[in-house]
Every structure is written in C-alpha cells, then in structure tokens.
Structure 1
Amino acid sequence: MQSISGMAGFERTLNSHVDSKGACSEQNAEGASDPVFKFRDSSHSAFVLQGLNHLRLSKKFTDVVLCAGDEEITCHRAVLALCSCYFNAMFSHDMQESHIQNVTLNGVQPSILSTIIEFLYTGEIDITEQNAQAVLEAASLFQISSLEAACSIFMREHMDPSNCIGILQFADLHNLTDLYKKAEDFSIAQFSEVCLSEEFLQLPEALLLKCLSKDLYLDSEETAYEAAMNWIKSDLENRGGSLPAVLNALRLPFLSPYSLTKASDDPIISQNPECVSAIEEAKRYQNMHLNEWQQLKSVKCEPRNYREVVIILGSMSIDDVEIQHKTIMYDPESRVRSLLEPPPFQKYEKIQTAAPLGSNVMVRTNLGNAWLYLPHENVWTGVASPTQPRWHGKLVACNNHVYLVGGYGLNRTVLENVEKYKPDTNTWEVVTTLPTQLLTGTQ
C-alpha cells in the first residue's frame, strides 16, 4: 500500500494487483524471457473521477460555464461531451457553444442542472418523489441514458393511484415507451381508485378517451361512466362539447337499466341529441336476444375485465322477536368479507327472492315490497311493486332484465302471468303467460 500526494491536498491510496506469480514472462526475439510486471490499479478510475470533480469545484482547467437562471456551473467540456450525447453534439460541431465561455441552457431548473452535473462528475444522485420527473426530463434532454433508466425504475416502483396519471402524462409527453406502458397497465388494473385522484380530472381529452376505451378492471361500468361524467362536469364550459365522444368510449350497454334511466335524465345528456341517441342505442342493445348480442361486432358490446364478487343477503332472528338484516360482500380473489349497508326493512320484513339487475341486486320481501341494492353506491332504494299482489313468486334475471315468475295471488290463486320490471319508468308490465301455472314454493 502506498500513499501518493495528489493535487492541492487531494490524495488517494493505490491498490496494486499482480497475477498469482507476481510477474509473467514473455519471449523476446532471441527466445529469452523478459520479465513483465502486470500492474492494475483498481482505484484509478475512481481517483480520476474524484479528481475531475475536485478540479471542477476548484475551477481548475475548466473551459465552459453552464448557465440556468441565476445558477452558473463551471465544468470541463471533455467530461460533459463524454457523458452526454447532447453536449457532445453541442461541442463537436461548428456551433457557437463550441467556443464561447458561457453557455445558457433554457428549460432546465437551476437546481436540477446542478444535480445533473454533480451526477456526471460523481456517478451518484439522490432520486426522490419530489425531483424524479424533473431529473428524468433533464436526463432525457441531455441524453444521459443511465440516468433516464434509473429515474424510470424509481417512478415505476413508487407508482400509486394518486400519481399514476401524472406519470402517464409525463411518459406520453416525453415518449418514454416502457414507463408509459407501466403507467397505463397500472391505471387499467386500478382504475376504480385512479379515477378518484385530482390528476384524473386534469387528463387531456385524447388520453381520457384512450383510457376509457381500454378493458378496465371494474366492479361495474357505472364506475367508468361516473368517472367520465366527473371529468366533463369539472370543466363543463370547455368540455361539454366532448360529451358525445366520451359516451362513445364507454360500454353503455353494460350500465344497469336503472343507471341508463338516470343518465337519460341528466340535463347535459338530455339536451344533446347525439347523447340521447347513444343512450337509446344502449337500451336497444339491452333488449336484444342473447344470440343477436353475440353477433354484434361493436366494442360497446364487449365486456370489460369486471371484478366479480358475491353479495350475500339474509337475516337472523334475535330471540324469535327481532329480525336483524345483513348485507355482506365476499371477494373470492382476496378472500375478504365486508359488511355493507343493511336493508332498511320493516320490523317483520325479510327477503324472499333476489336476482341481479345489471350490476345491482333486486329483492322482493315477504310483505310483497321490491327493493334495489346498488353495490357501487352501497345504498338501498325502494322500487315499485308488481301490478298484482303476489306471494312466493321468484325473481329471474335474463339479458340485464328482471322477471317475476310464479307464486299465488289473492284467494291463493296460482298465477300464470310473468311480469318484467322496467327501470326507465320504475314500473312492472305483464309480458307473457306461463303455459302451465307455477307455484314456486312456500315459505
């Protein structure tokens, strides 16, 4: 080990490395062996790098000053050209910057430029959530590929629903393909949370439409519809004209009939003929037979990646007097069970039959009342009762509609009428009769 004085007090320690014999031999022209001492200083590259940075800080042998705002950073053209294709091109060609002392850089924050230069001379940098985008932007400008990759890795590993959209926009703006793909995949998988962020409301229209057209992972199409309407209404004056394009990007036929009715009653939709037409088209799709639906080639009729859950409805008797109602959601994927809003039934009322209505659940009780549970809002709402009194009939779901079949009416007459619920008018209508009267069971 040997200590050698460096420049202006800068010192290093040399580590010499020799092969296992301490030397190697080579044959000269006469066949004799000339000893060769192979020496490799493993600290040399670090010494040179540290020495160059020491020279920079001491402003020795420097030949250029980078200026950004009020910041002036003295550097060596050789180091900048070696580490950055941007500076290499700037200093290699017959450009003004190749021979002037002060070079002004626009569009770069002074503090970020200082951080970048420090990295070029030391190979070290602290990337944080606060500076990652700015450092990546500067690294992209200066064409420092290793730093670009490091920032991209950091942003991918620290992506969450609150910053995903910002990263998506940033990657799109700077043509960062891998980072964009990661942010896009994240937004698709976590859309239900991503759409609640402030950044989502700042999306430009082109990116919003692109996002809504993807096979998002959703509990229901209502989530995408509500997110899109929130985006429109957050700046209605400037975005109102985009409503037809936004509705066209949604899968409106997969909204529940109840939600379609609410949509058609929304003033900003009902006052736009093109939007009204889109809602009416979705209703027609829902009234098609299954084989007609399957023959359609429209993307509007292709389901998204919905997350399926089990809704458990029931009640228990406490001391044979009080009935306690419960609504439970079970997620088979995460195996998590959650208590939801219990139904607001009367004291002796309990569920007799239930069926899905779109993404909602319709139930009828032993008192003949009809209720609708909306899982995406976690609320219960009362709906109209069938046209005639009916006990022990069963609700049946088919093609996004609910039918009431069987049971008996007044004087215990077995009923043959089949009724269909119409959510757009909150009414029931008799649509057919059973070839054979059916009593679907007793309580």
Structure 2
Amino acid sequence: MDLPAVEVLHYKDAEHSSALLLQLNKLREENILTDVVLRAGMTEIPCHRNVLVSSSPYFRAMFCNNFMETQQSKVEMKGVKPAILSSIVDYVYTGLISIDLENVLHIMQAASMLQYGRLFEACSDFLQAQLRPDNCLSMIRLSEMMNCESLRKKAKEMAMKRFSDVSLSEDLCELSLEELTWYLNDDSICADEEQVFETLVAWIHHDPVSRRGTISSLFKKVRLRHLHPTYLFQFIANDPLIQSSTLCTEIIESVRRLMFSIGTKSIRDFVVDFKPLWAAPQRCSYDDTLVVVGGRRNNEQTSREALVFDEKNQKWQHLAKLPVRLHKASYVALHSILYVVGGLTTNCSQVSRTVYTLSLKTNQWRTAEPMLEPRFAHQSVSYLHYIFVLGGLGSDRQLAASVERFNSMFNQWEAVSPMPEAVLHPAVAATNHRIYMFGGQDATHSPVRLIQVYHIGRNMWSKMENRTVKNVSAPAVVLHNKIYIIGGYTRRVIAYDTEANDFIKCANLKERRMHHAATCLNNKLYITGGRYVSGHDVIEDLDTLECYDPKTDAWTCKGTLPYKLFDHGSLTLTCAAQNWKKS
C-alpha cells in the first residue's frame, strides 16, 4: 500500500544558539582551539578570533583587514582595565555581565570603544534608572562625554520636568554660562518665571566676582510678560544685582510703562531689544488646566467645592474647599491665580466684598484685598494686570451700574466709569484693550439688546443697540480674536468679530441653556453644567462637560461633572508645579 506523501518539516532548534555559545565558552575556558590572546596589563585572556569577529565590528575590522593584529598572537587592549576586559569577554561568550555603580562607566567606555552597542545601551539603561534631580545635570554632561543620546534625552527630560528641584542642586551652580543659558532658553522648563529669575541669581551669587557681569544677558532669559507684576516691580526691581545693571533697570521701566499705558503706547516706543523679550511665549511645559469652582450643587445648596479636570485620565480631582459658601459670587483668573469675588454669604445672608484666591501651586485659599463695594450677581473679567468687576446687586439689593478694578501691580481697588446702563447677567469678555458687555436684563427682568463697550485706556464707555443680542445668564469667551457668546435661555451660539463689528452664527447647543460656565482650553471652548429648558418647559440642572471646536464648528461631549451644577465658575489656570495632585 502506498504511503501518504510526507509534509516538509522546517525544524528550528530554539536552544541551538545558546548551546553553541555555551560550548564555545567551555572551549575558551579550557584553552582549546583559541588562536589569539587579549592582553590588558598583566592579564591575558585566550579567545577565538572568529567569535570576536562575529561579536563586534571593532574586532572584525582588526582581524579581517591588513592590520598588524592579524598576524599577532597577542593583542594589547590599551585603555581597558583587566577586570573590565575579562567581564566583556565573558559577556561575548555568555551574553551575561554584571553592571553596578562602580564599574558602569568603565564598561560603558569599553563597550563604546569595542563597539558593543547593546551593552552600551544596557549601561545607559542602568544609569537612567539612577537618575535623580540632584544628579541629572551631571548625567547630561556624562552623556555628552560618552556620546550617549538615550541617556542625554532622559536626563534632560528630568532636568526640565523637575527643574524646581534641580535648581537647588550644587550641580546647577557649577554650570558654565553657556550651559545655564541653554537651559534658560528652553521652552520646556517646568518652572514659573519667578523661579527662573531666582535660579540665575543663585548662580551668580555662587561666584559673584566672575559672574556679576552676566546679569544683563541672563535677565533677558526671564519671560517678563509671565511674571506677576508685584513680584517684578517690588522684588526683582529692588534686587541689588538688577539695580547694578543699567540695561536691566531700563527693561523693567519699559514693562512698567507698557502696563500703565494700557494700549496707548506701542512696544516699539521702548528700548530696542525689549520687543522680543515681551513677545517671548509662555514655556510649553506649563499645563493649561480646567478648574470648576463654587455654584449651586444638585440644586440643594451652594457648593464650596473646587475641582480640577485631569484631561489625561479624564477624571475630576478635588482641590481645597472654599472657606465659605457663597451665592452668586463671580470667578476670574489672573496670573494663574483663581479669584472668587464677592457674593452672598449663605450663613447670614450678607452681601460680601471679600476676595478669596487659590493657586494650584500651593492648593491653599487666601484672602486678598477686598472690593470697594459689596456685591453679588455681578460679573468679573481680567485683562493685563487688572480685574474688572461690573454691576450686580449691592447691599441694598438694587441693580448697580458701578464698576471697579483691581490693580494687581499695587494690590488695590479703584473705581472707574460706571456702565451706561445697569444690566444683570450679561455676557462679558475683554480683548483688544476693551471690555465688551452683551445683553443681560434690566431691573424689570426684561432682556436688553445692547452691546456696551468700555475702553480700558480711556476709561470711557460707549453703547450700541443690536437686534442680534438677546442673551441672559450666558458666558462669553475670547478665542482667536472672536468673542463667543454661548446660549443664555437659547440654543444659539454666536461669535462676535470685534474688528468687523459683525456676528457669525455657530453650531447650536443641544438644548436651551443658561447659568452655565465656559472657558477656553487648548484652542477649544469648554462649557460646564448649567440649567436647561426641557421639552416640557421644565428647567432642569446639568452635569455635562461639552467642547466646541471652531475648526469643525461642532460640539462633542467630554464627560460629566461629579454632580449637577450651575451659577459656578469655569476657568483655565496655568500651572507648572501641580502640587494639587499630591493633595
């Protein structure tokens, strides 16, 4: 009977390579068929040329070309310690080697010379595991000496991300001027500008005799636009090093004049090299973070909660709670600090003029300079180094037209021109040295079809009627030189072009919405919570987080809040050291 055709078996012995290597190592240990001796100092190691040639381009070049080593029975391995050479030969024959802090640099140097790439990277991996803020600068120097890109990349990444800790290390003070400048030029440093300034001052004080003259060039690396004005004008301006430099004092004076001008002066009116300093962008290591604070929670009571949205993990995390419960306070961000302004205290129903502040850096609430007048149901908006508080209801519960502003440079409030018409719950935004106030309602709760404009530099108001404007309890957000007005007892979303004085219709909301909050994050609009009118004309609360992309003119759902919320604040804060994550 015919046998069936036999199928072809492609056999691969998985243990063949390791078994062959094991046998070759035994031959080496017994000095059988070895044809070359590697010598380091007084140590001699018999080897097989073909094994060395197969393991390294270095030995292939040595033994396969017309070099004198081709004819030699003993080859001197200059620059390699005996113990290291022995370890590397063991590695060649077994694939095993022990790397520790005492031998890693010697092995790495020998692996580089002998062209054992995987062993070189193994040493790099070992050093990367030892990285700490107090040694990463030394590791960067080492990586450059060893020409090790993987170690340099990881060490630099740590230096940038942990710059707050790195700046305290002794290694930083040992940097050369060129090296320090390289760090301060980097956009990815994870530190605020105050710390950048303190770092360069500490570096100069480490060797004041030879380094004092560098203050002028180093000060240009501080991105002045992103410094808190109080820190700049009260601390930096009075620093003896700064005062010793004519250029530094001129730069600070230019910033002072620019801030005071509020649009009446141009940057080109100031010192020649000031414009690039002022235009320097915020360092990209800073994270723009969505924060939600206050409001009325689950339609039960006024909330003390402050939440931050972890965009990476799509989760909400709790910040420190507001010290008191406040009804219809206003919420605004300035210099990456959250301000909660005024409101009605729920325990004794008093109208407040208190101002509370929260920094993500410390995750602690503090009280700031109080307003001139107590008020609630008012609007707040920030611009440059100012916070403007507009209208609302005063202690007499009457609708107010008064406006006051907080000057963060001098930590004081001052009254400015009142709005032409007092309105409640308008949409407010600031751009191009002006504050725009859209719609709202009057004392009789009737909608107002007005745009009121305040020119900050001239301290003057103007107003114009506009039939397109009909919003109450709607937020306004500035994005790409347009002011977006989102809802307000309507589904409508419109963008106002301030230059063309024209409205552009955008994609509608899913439902008629009001008492929600909105902010700009990563060039998109985010709206949180609010209330909506259902199909049965019943007002219900929302817990939604939605996002509008102006490029696609579309809304998408980004999840939900931990609870239903309205009359709250939704703000974007910028932070480098996010200590709130540890809270």
TM-score range, shorter-chain basis?
A: 0.5 to 0.7
- Comparing 304-313 with 226-235, greater Cα deviation is found at 226-235
1:118 deviates by 3.2
Give the aligned residue type for 1:115. Answer: S
Letter in 2 for 1:124: L
Q: 1:339 aligns with which of 318, 333, 336?
A: 318
* Separation in structure 2 between the aligned mates of residue 271 and residue 376 of structure 1, nearest angstrom: 29
Cα shift readout 1:133-161 (whole Å, capped 9, x = no counterpart)? 54323322444334224434555688676
Q: Give yes or no for contact 1:351–1:364 (8 Å, CA) kept in 2.
A: no
Aligned residue for 1:211? 183
Pair 147,42 (structure 1): closer, same or farther in 2 beyond 3 Å: closer
Match of 1:238? 207
Rounded to whole Å, the distance in 2 between the matches of 1:52 and 1:64 is 12
Alpha-carbon separation, structure 1, partners of 2:222 and 2:82:
44
Q: Specify the code of the residue in structure 2 equivalent to 1:52.
A: R
Structure 1 residue aligned with 2:117: 145
Mapped contact 2:226–2:282 kept (Cα < 8 A): yes
1:356 maps to a residue whose letter is A
- Residues in 1 aligned to 2:61 and 2:367: alpha-carbon distance in whole angstroms: 72
Q: Which residue of 2 aligns with 1:23?
A: none
Contact preservation (8 Å) 1:253, 1:283: no
Q: 1:371: how far off?
A: 3.0
Within 5 Å, which residues of 2 pair with 1:289-304? 300-304=279-283
Segments of 5+ residues of structure 1 without an aligned counterpart are: 1-18, 21-39
Which one of 221, 226, 243 corresponds to residue 254 of structure 1?
226
The percentage of aligned residue pairs carrying the same residue is: 18
Given the superposition, is the C-alpha separation of residues 351 and 358 from structure 1 closer, same or farther in structure 2, using an over 3 Å criterion? farther
Structure 1 residue identity aligned to 2:290:
V
Do the aligned partners of residues 65 and 111 (structure 1) sit closer, same or farther apart at CA in structure 2, a change above 3 Å counting?
A: closer
Map 1:222-233 → 2, pairs under 5 A: 222=192, 225-226=194-195, 229-230=198-199, 232-233=201-202
User: Is residue 27 of structure 2 the alignment partner of residue 51 of structure 1?
Assistant: yes
The residue type equivalent to 2:311 in the other structure is P
Higher gyration radius (CA): 1
Query: Do the aligned partners of residues 297 and 103 (structure 1) sit closer, same or farther apart at CA in structure 2, a change above 3 Å counting?
Result: closer
**CA pair 193-109 structure 1, distance change in 2 beyond 3 A:** farther
Summarize the Cα distance change of 1:257–1:198 in structure 2 as closer, same or farther, 3 Å threshold.
same
**Aligned partners of 1:217 and 1:307 also within 8 Å:** no
Q: 1:256 touches 1:357 (CA, 8 Å); kept in 2?
A: no
Give the Å deviation of 1:395: 1.8
C-alpha contact (below 8 Å) 1:64/1:75 kept by paired residues? yes
Query: How far does the alpha carbon of each residue in 1:44-97 deviate from its partner, in whole angstroms, 9 at most, with x for none?
Result: 6653444235439xxx97755413xxxx532359859844739977998789xx
Cα distance in structure 2, aligned partners of 1:281 and 1:227 = 20
Confirm or deny that 1:124 pairs with 2:96: yes
C-alpha displacement at 1:330, in angstroms?
A: 2.6
Q: Separation in 1 of the partners of 2:184 and 2:259? A: 21
Q: Which consecutive unaligned segments of at least 5 residues does structure 2 have?
A: 1-7, 10-15, 268-274, 344-351, 427-442, 444-566, 568-583
Structure 2: which amino acid aligns with 1:55? N
Cα separation, 1, equivalents of 2:123 and 2:168: 23
CA contact (8 A) 1:86 1:141 kept: no
Name the aligned partner's letter for residue 313 of structure 1. Answer: V
**8 Å contact from structure 1 (residues 419, 429) kept in 2:** yes
In the alignment, which of 361, 365, 369 is matched to residue 342 of structure 2?
A: 365
Matches within 5 A, 1:369-384: 369-384=354-369
Q: Is 1:429 the equivalent of 2:414?
A: yes
* Alpha-carbon offset, residue 403 of structure 1: 1.5
Question: Which structure shows the bigger proportion of residues in helix conformation?
Answer: 1
- 1:394 maps to which residue? 379
Q: Does 2:141 correspond to 1:169? A: yes
* Separation in 2, partners of 1:164, 1:260: 30
Please tell me the residue identity of whatever aligns with 1:85.
Answer: Y
- After TM superposition, the structure 1 stretch with the greater mean CA deviation from structure 2, 242-251 or 373-382, is 242-251
CA distance in structure 1 between the aligned counterparts of 2:86 and 2:18, rounded to whole angstroms: 29
Q: Is 1:309 the counterpart of 2:289 in the alignment? A: yes
**CA-CA distance at 1:325 after TM superposition:** 3.7
Distance change >3 Å, CA 115–CA 195, structure 1 → 2: same
Deviation at 1:283, TM superposition (A): 5.2
Residue 195 (structure 1) shift: 4.0
Secondary structure of the equivalent of 2:421? coil
Bigger relative contact order, structure 1 or 2, given CA contacts below 8 A and separation 6+? 2
- Alignment-mate amino acid for residue 183 of structure 2: C
The SS at the match of 1:211 is helix
Contact kept? 1:64, 1:77, Cα under 8 Å: yes
Residue number in structure 2 paired with 1:66: 40
TM-score computed with the length of structure 1 as normaliser: 0.65
Matched, 1:355 2:332: yes
Give, as a single letter, the amino acid of the residue that structure 2 aligns with 1:302: P
Partner deviation per Cα, 1:349-392 (whole Å, 9 max, x = no partner): 67711210021112223320223322212233333234x32423
Contact in 2 for aligned 1:359/1:374 (Cα 8 Å): yes
SS state at 1:308 partner: strand
Q: 1:140 to 1:409 in 2, by over 3 A?
A: same
- Displacement of 1:438 after TM fit? 4.3
In structure 2, distance between residues paired with 1:344 and 1:42: 68
Distance 1:291 1:134 in 2: 62
Pick the aligned partner of 2:309 from 330, 342, 348. Answer: 330
1:286 offset after TM fit, Å?
5.8
Contact kept? 1:357, 1:400, Cα under 8 Å: yes
- Give the aligned partner of residue 540 of structure 2: none
CA distance in 2, matches of 1:285, 1:130: 57
**Cα displacement (A) at 1:196:** 6.9
Q: What residue in structure 1 maps to residue 45 of structure 2? A: 75
- The structure where strand makes up a greater share of residues is 2
Secondary structure of the corresponding residue to residue 250 of structure 1: coil
Helix, strand or coil: the match of 2:291?
strand
User: Whole-Å Cα distance in 2 between the matches of residues 377 and 263 of structure 1?
Assistant: 20
TM-score (norm 2): 0.52
SS at match of 2:220: helix
What is the identity, as a one-letter code, of the residue corresponding to 1:66? A
Structure 1, residues 196-219: CA drift from partner, whole Å, max 9, x if none? Answer: 78487467243443233233275x
Would the alpha carbon gap of residues 259 and 267 (structure 1) be closer, same or farther in structure 2, given more than 3 Å must change?
closer
Task: Give the whole-Å Cα distance in 1 for the aligned partners of 2:380 and 2:197.
Answer: 32
CA contact (8 A) 1:419 1:428 kept: yes
Looking at structure 2, the residues matched to 227 and 86 of structure 1 have their Cα atoms a distance apart, in angstroms, of 49
Judged with a 3 Å threshold, the aligned counterparts in structure 2 of structure 1 residues 270 and 374 are, in CA distance, closer, same or farther, namely farther
Q: Quick one: structure 1 residues 111 and 124, their matched pair in 2 at CA, closer, same or farther if it must change by over 3 Å?
A: same
SS of residue paired to 2:207? helix
